[in-house]
Amino acid sequence: MFGAHDSTEARVQTALKKSEELNCVIVLKGNHTLITSGGKSFLNSTGNAGLAKGGSGDALTGIITAFLAQGYAPFDAAKLGVFIHGFAADLTLNEQSMESMLITDVIENLGKVFKVLVKA
């Protein structure tokens, strides 16, 4: 979206800069997804390479949008959405391999994530 980059660090720096410049939330998907908004940032600890498949970003967008619709602030909705999306992928990995994992499998585990979080 903001041009080619030679390194992950360059991508991160651009995301941080553009988030402040445009006063928006940016979700920079990667090995450890970065969520940034106006100088604040969060580096997600959940997820795995099984998410590197078609439809994963669409599912993530839907999860974040659901939190926005419930009245969460955009930065909080993005942080929660990314964490839950990744956590569901981690639970899915307990049941199958990264190669066989589909985004529909991840979506099926969203309920399990919410049950774990409610107990925490």
Residues 55-80 have pLDDT tens digits of 999 999 999 999 999 999 999 999 99
The Cα 64–Cα 59 span in angstroms is 9
The Cα 66–Cα 56 span in angstroms is 15
DSSP H or E stretch at residue 54: none
Six-digit token string for 63:
């999860």
Give pLDDT, residue 9: 87
Find the mean pLDDT for residues 74-100: 96
The Cα 31–Cα 43 span in angstroms is 10
The answer to whether residue 88 scores a pLDDT higher than 90 is: yes
The answer to whether residue 13 scores a pLDDT higher than 80 is: yes
Find the mean pLDDT for residues 34-50: 94
- Between vectors from CA 31 to CA 57 and to CA 54, what angle results, nearest 5°? 30
**Residue 110 pLDDT grade (very low, low, confident, very high; cuts 50, 70, 90):** very high
Architecture of domain 8-119: 3-Layer(aba) Sandwich (3.40)
Give pLDDT, residue 30: 86
| Domains in the chain: boundaries | 8-119
The answer to whether residue 120 scores a pLDDT higher than 80 is: no
**Residue 115 pLDDT grade (very low, low, confident, very high; cuts 50, 70, 90):** very high
Give pLDDT, residue 31: 83
Average predicted confidence (pLDDT) for the chain: 93
